[in-house]
A and B are shown apart, each in its own frame.
Chain A
């Protein structure tokens, strides 16, 4: 009887050892490289993007002096950088596209806000070809970038799409997340109001 129990315990332990050693990606344990999702008040991991060749996009982002093939989001000339994490393949992102376009128009139509807030989209798991399809299909006027190998998506904690992140891109709180939103926003006006409430009043003497 004792011998039988010993055999069973040995069998169980050996099998467990085998399972643990053969599993390379354990879902019960946190992924060692998995970054937490963006949280208000926390810094956002640096985002590196391919430098746009389109002159109007370079002007919009204030990247006229950038000569390198890539640039960091921190180099974008604005107080607040609003990032939409989307995918061309995501039906919700497709449905939300007109609302995001409206949000962009609201920002651009306001001379002050257009200087303060810049909007970019990052197509996660999308090639440049796929991002271009999304851009043309929905007539997107703000810059879209491809994240074909999910590098940025991983850095953003593999959020579901669409996901909106606003970060401070100037001042003491530079690179700090000031707003996040999963899924679509019911009204672009309302979303813009919630964003502008987070803009700090300018320091005296600063333009």
Chain B
């Protein structure tokens, strides 16, 4: 019995050690503090929403201390939701700093950006602090764990969310969904092009 357990433990340990790693350009801002989870399956969940659906409403706490209700933007702003899988990981750590320098492109299209992660507030506070001052709200979908990600059908079996972009128009209707390969950053031009289309169509 003891031998069997030892054998299984050895196999598990080796499996963990031999995980592959993806390519990314990690900023020196984060130095050695980024954990590399290796190459993950591109997607691992089943969408529960589609373009044309009313977006599931949610209320989440933000790193800023505010409480954000999705319905508060109804009739006022286009909402872009950027779900990232986890704090302190390579691709996620540079996705939002990129969005941080294109505030004007969001404003021009009368849109707000909400960053969402399943991490808790203290973790998100430390992590986003490395990115400099972010102009957009960062929301914690930590507890009940991944409830919002789950309502969209983008919570993976491992408890992290898919790398997903959702654009919701002023009527609260989902107009664009991109569940991206979790190992890669979604191209910015696609997001901006979609945003412009939605903004122009009213």
Contacts and interface: CB of A to CB of B under 8 A. Distances in A.
Interface of A: 4-5, 8, 11-12, 15-16, 19-20, 23-28, 87-95, 124-125, 127, 129-130, 133-134, 137, 150, 153-154, 158, 160-163, 182-184
A182 B98 contact: no
A36 B197 CA distance: 44
Contact of A26 (B18, B185, B187): B18
Given A12-B7, A127-B189, A133-B188, A90 B21 contact: no
Contacts of B25: 87, 89-90, 124-125, 150, 153, 158, 160-161
Given A4-B3, A12-B10, A19-B14, A91 B131 contact: yes
Contact of A160 (B4, B11, B28, B189): B28
A5 B28 CA distance: 50
B63 to A, nearest CB: 16
Size class of B's contact patch? 35 or more
Given A8-B7, A160-B27, A161-B25, A91 B18 contact: no
The dominant DSSP class at the B interface is: loop
Given A94-B101, A130-B98, A28 B18 contact: yes
Contacts of A5: 3
Interface in B129-153: 130-132
A19 B21 contact: no
Interface in B168-185: 185
